[in-house]
A and B are shown apart, each in its own frame.
Chain A
Amino acid sequence: MDARILDELRAIVDGRGLISSPEELHTYECDGLTNLRVMPRAVLLPTSTGQVQAILRICHREKIPFVARGSGTGLSGGALPVENGVVISLARMNRILEVDFPNARAVVEPGVINLDVTARILHNEYFYAPDPSSQSICSIGGNVAENSGGAHCLKYGFTTTHVLGLDVVLPDGTLVHLGGKALDAPGYDLAGVFVGSEGTLGIATKIILRIVKRPECVRTLLAAFPSTNEAGAAVSGIIAAGMLPAAIEMMDNLAIQAAEAAVRANYPNCGALLLVELDGPLAEVETLMTHVNEICLSNGASEIRLAQSDAERALVWKGRKAAFAAMGRISPNYIVQDGVIPRTSLPQVMGEIVRLSQEAGLRVANVFHAGDGNLHPLVLYDRRIPGQEEAAEALSSNILELCIAAGGSITGEHGVGEDKKKMMSKMFAEPDLLTMQRVRNAFDPLQLSNPTKIFPTPRLCGEKPGKYTPHPLESSGLAERF
């Protein structure tokens, strides 16, 4: 990229919005998946849709690949820069443009932090439902790219459920409005296609969100089981009884130990811990919670606690949400995996994970969104021991193959990004992937928008796989791996 183009870009973003010095660019060379790093040619920080359009027109004219970036908390390398490309950070487009309570909508810019939406509407007893555990730092734009979930998506749905409309700048600089404040706009549901497309179809510059009234009451139950099998049977029992809890989370013994060491959530020391949250009208929740209690007992729960206050509830969740970062307390290094299985295959898949773990001589801690079968196995290892990192990577990847074999998915919420694109052809057949590429061609015929992600391609020479080191946000305690 020659200096003339850089000058042109600088003029668009008013000088201060362009970063091109190598020392400053380091911040942007990776996202939450820190073992993959690529140095971008420049980083642009536009402040308006018009600026994003102007930047993309130049990228289009000069065929410069670009990668949009929110807070950089993604765990699949979705915001990994592309060699000789630019990064477009939406961090300065962070205004909540409109809150419309009568219609239960909020209109935001992509750089708005997830939790800030709820903070703005809480006084009127509303909340924004998708709650990835990085929600205190991740951006709505990033959530849109990844179709982020969270513990409560079991009941409330994912980001895509809550995005009603988008202003999108297409890779040639054209602005289009997808969806809208009212439902079912005539034509194809391109907003539905855009959400979760991991930045490969363009850049969202304005997002219309659905907001939700807070339930009358929330109750959280903690149950201790001898093993994940009994806990899993209790989950099946709850589902079979026709209940749809707001969240059902499970942790195995290793994960419990780590969480205890990290935040002293006062968890019972047991084989598996189940956390069940019900919300809704008081009378309804109390009746159903009695049932949940009975189901847990009949499946061998040795101890059951009902969080009695908001403070107790917060502590229960703190232990769960800290589980990833807590691994640092019991292991020098770890890999976070994200896979999905049909919930009923949990005992079989867990058995296989134990077998693989023993074969590899490595410990695996397990944290699940048990209600929807989303597994987060954490493979623990010590990089200083020769060969262990490779063994850990192989084990982590084998666990994903178990998920595929069980009829599940290679990712439930972290995305494919750079990290898992080689697994895509194990989950999908060639015609499936080619069909997705045809849709991509309609949006981005020159393949400029995050061009190297999601779909399997030979590794590019510019990518330098390196060792895992904590992201600066993680080290500073601002982010957790969930």
Chain B
Amino acid sequence: MDAATPSQPATLHSSFRYKLISFIGPEHVRATSAVDAIVGVQPKVLVAPGNERELAEVLRLSNEAGLAVIPSGGGTKRCWGNPPSRADLVLSTARLNETTEHAWADLTVTVEAGCTIQKLQEALAEHGQRLALDPLWPEKATVGGVLSANDSGALRLRFGALRDLIIGVTLALPDGTLASSGGKVVKNVAGYDLPKLATGAFGTLGVITRAVFRLHPLPRHTRSFTVATSTGEETRRFVQAVQNSKLAHTALQGRFESGISPLVDVLFEGTEAGLSAQEAHLKILAETSAVTEASPEVWKARQGLWSFTKPESAALAKFSILPAEIEKSMETIAKSAGTRRLQWKAVVQATGIGWLRLQGDAKDLRVSLQELRELFERSAGSLIVFYRPAAMPAIDTWGGAGDAFPLMKAVKQQLDPRNTLNPGRFVGGI
């Protein structure tokens, strides 16, 4: 696709920069610095339009000028993805940050892409509601960024992922089109489900300017428990027993670490009476394992993996496996890491989605991640590398997209034919 794009100007033409400034004001166009680098690639200018029409127009102008555009929200995932093949302009949604309409009695919200998750949740909580999602870094991460990266946490087990929560989207396409699909009602089958296409597309098809979500009530009461299991087999048996029980748990995660016995966390939400009954049931399922009431902090374990003490020797990956193969996958990780004397720590949700931090020699990290990816892919799973230290030899972020890849390229070609958005950053060089 890159072959079809026009040759790149070494710096942004001053006439183009002038056009931008006169269009959205000098205070919203600025030169970039090292902190704006996208996976090590330095863009030239950052533009923050004030509304979605302006944003679509900046995108259209950039597309016409043959410039590569990097959509950006809170910038929390700047290191995610492959290095872009080109990066000229960072298109920031920072000024599109309002909750446009909280139809609380209808349990829906319309929100602009640049609104942070925390700001959104605070607005929703005023009416006892929430977006039932626990993404990374909610105080900085934005609606648009979280959607584009499809970042979900432990609540996914009960409430589904973003694809199940989003009911409408507005996208700015590189040709300046502003296209909406879905709607403002939860139940709606009119037209194609483009909210799902935009979710997890990593900003390569269009820039999300607005989204509509279905909401859930804040829980009346919550209670978390941690079950200490002594062996992998005991973990497997317990997780399977909970999943196969009639408990209505909201979240279930395993915490695993080299040389330490696994811990399993369970979250219940509901009425006091319901919680007490479920606690009793849980203790029966735990058999001889110790059950202790836990702090809600245990649900931040996934984010905790990102608190590196030695960023120069750590790598971080998201993986997906079959839910019944959690314990087997942990053995696979322990073996792969152990052989190379790597330290490892993982948080795995009962959905089969997990996060792994590996620490050690940079070259060995690369070998281990590649090995794990091959093993997981062989049993229907995947492994995506979201952080690697500078010293680690390059590895493709995503792994294979299977036989649907030509179709994915065709979709990209239809919506972004000049390869303007995040070029090269996504799967297979999209």
A interface residues, Cβ below 8 angstroms from B: 100-104, 125, 146-147, 149, 153, 157-158, 160-161, 170, 175-178, 180-190, 192-193, 195-197, 213-216, 236, 239-240, 242-244, 280-284, 286-288, 340-344, 369, 372-374, 407-416, 420, 424, 427-429, 431-436, 438-443, 454
Q: Find out whether the CB atom of B411 lies under 8 angstroms from the CB atom of A190.
A: yes
Q: Are the CB atoms of B351 and A183 closer together than 8 Å? A: yes
Within 8 Å by CB of B191, from A181, A428, A442, lies A428
Neighbour of B197 across the interface among A192, A236, A281, A415, CB < 8 A: A192
B270 lies within 8 A of chain A by Cβ: yes
Interface string of B159-202 (1 = CB under 8 A from A): 01101100000010100011111011111111111101101110
Contact A442 B244 (CB under 8 A): no
- Measured CB to CB, the residues of B under 8 A from A are 103, 105-108, 128, 150, 160-161, 163-164, 171, 173, 177-181, 183-194, 196-197, 199-201, 205, 216-220, 240, 243-248, 270-271, 273-274, 276-278, 281, 318, 320-324, 351-353, 380-382, 384, 398-405, 407-408, 410-411, 413-415, 426-428
A290 shortest CB reach to chain B, Å:
10
Return the chain B residue nearest A180 by Cβ.
B380
Q: Which of A176, A183, A442 gathers most chain B CB within 10 Å?
A: A183
- Closest chain A CB from B78 CB (angstroms): 19
Interchain CB contact under 8 A, A157 and B164? yes
- Bound state CA distance, A230 and B241, in angstroms? 44
Q: Given A161-B160, A428-B181, A438-B415 in contact, is the A416-B190 Cβ separation under 8 Å?
A: yes
Asked if B192 contacts A196 (CB within 8 A), the reply is yes
Q: A188-B197, A342-B103 are in contact. Are A182 and B185 (CB under 8 A)?
A: no
Assuming the contacts A157-B164, A344-B103, A431-B177, asked whether A186 and B187 have C-beta atoms less than 8 A apart, the reply is no
Give chain B nearest CB distance to A56 CB in angstroms: 15
A102, A176, A287, A340: the one within 8 Å of B271 (CB)? A287
The answer to whether B415 and A435 touch across the interface, beta carbons within 8 angstroms, is yes
Cross-chain contact B179 with A160 (CB below 8 angstroms)? no
CA separation between A224 and B351, bound complex, in Å? Answer: 41
CB contact between B321 and one of A182, A343, A424 (< 8 Å): that residue = A182
Q: In the bound complex, do residue A213 and residue B246 qualify as a contact, i.e. CB atoms below 8 Å apart?
A: yes
Find chain A residues with CB under 8 A from B398 CB. 186-187
A192-B189 in contact (CB<8A): no
Residue among B189, B243, B382, B410 with most chain A CB within 10 A? B189
Tell which of A158, A187, A190, A428 touches B180, judged by Cβ atoms closer than 8 Å: A428
Q: Are B243 and A104 in contact (CB under 8 A)?
A: yes
Measured between beta carbons, the chain A residues less than 8 angstroms from B184 are 342, 407-408
* Nearest Cβ on chain B to A291's Cβ, whole angstroms: 9
Known: A178-B404, A372-B186, A431-B177. A186 touches B399 (CB 8 A): yes
Smallest Cβ-Cβ distance to A284: which chain B residue: B274
A158 touches B353 (CB 8 A): no
Nearest CB of chain B from residue A252's CB, rounded to whole Å? 19
**Contact between B246 and A435, CB atoms less than 8 A apart:** no
CB atoms of B414 and A442 under 8 A apart: yes
> Could you list 26 examples of A-B contacts with CB < 8 Å?
A100-B324, A102-B240, A146-B189, A149-B189, A175-B403, A180-B402, A184-B161, A184-B318, A185-B382, A187-B402, A189-B163, A192-B199, A196-B189, A214-B246, A215-B248, A242-B217, A242-B220, A282-B277, A283-B276, A284-B248, A284-B271, A287-B273, A373-B186, A431-B179, A442-B413, A454-B191
**Using Cβ atoms and an 8 Å threshold, which residues of chain A touch B426?**
187
Residues on B with C-beta less than 8 A from A373 are 106, 185-187
**Chain A: which residue is nearest B156 at the CB level?**
A183
Report A-chain residues with C-beta under 8 Å of the C-beta of B163: 160, 189, 192
Assembly CA distance A101 to B108 (angstroms): 34
Q: Say whether B322 contacts A187, CB under 8 Å.
A: no
Nearest A residue (CB) for B401: A187
Q: Among the interface residues A160, A189, A341, which one has the most CB atoms of the partner chain B within 10 A?
A: A189
Closest to B414 in A: A438
* Min distance, Cβ A413 to any Cβ of chain B, angstroms: 6
A147 touches B189 (CB 8 A): yes
Task: Report chain A residues within 8 Å CB of B128.
Answer: 242
Q: How far is the CA of A344 from the CA of B191 in the complex (A)?
A: 24
Contact (Cβ within 8 A) B181 A344? no
Inter-chain contact A185/B271, CB cutoff 8 Å: no
Instruction: Check A186 against B161 for contact (C-beta < 8 Å).
Output: no
Contact of B323 among A104, A146, A454 (CB under 8 A): A104
- Give chain A residues whose Cβ lies under 8 Å from the Cβ of B245: 213
B54, chain A: closest CB distance, angstroms: 17
The minimal Cβ–Cβ distance linking B169 to chain A, given in whole angstroms, is: 11
For A100, what are the chain B residues with a Cβ–Cβ distance below 8 Å?
Answer: 324
Q: Which residue of the partner chain B has the closest CB to A197?
A: B192
How far, in whole Å, are A286 and B164 apart by their CA atoms in the complex?
Answer: 28
With A372-B186, A412-B187 known as contacts, the answer to whether A195 contacts B402 (CB < 8 A) is no
Contacts A170-B407, A373-B185: A281 and B380 contacting too (C-beta < 8 A)?
A: no
Known interface pairs A215-B248, A372-B187, A431-B178; A182-B403 also in contact (CB < 8 Å): no
Q: A436: nearest residue on chain B (CB-CB)? A: B192
Q: Is the CB of A244 within 8 A of B216?
A: yes
Chain B residues, CB < 8 A from A344: 103, 105-106
Contact B192 A242 (CB under 8 A): no
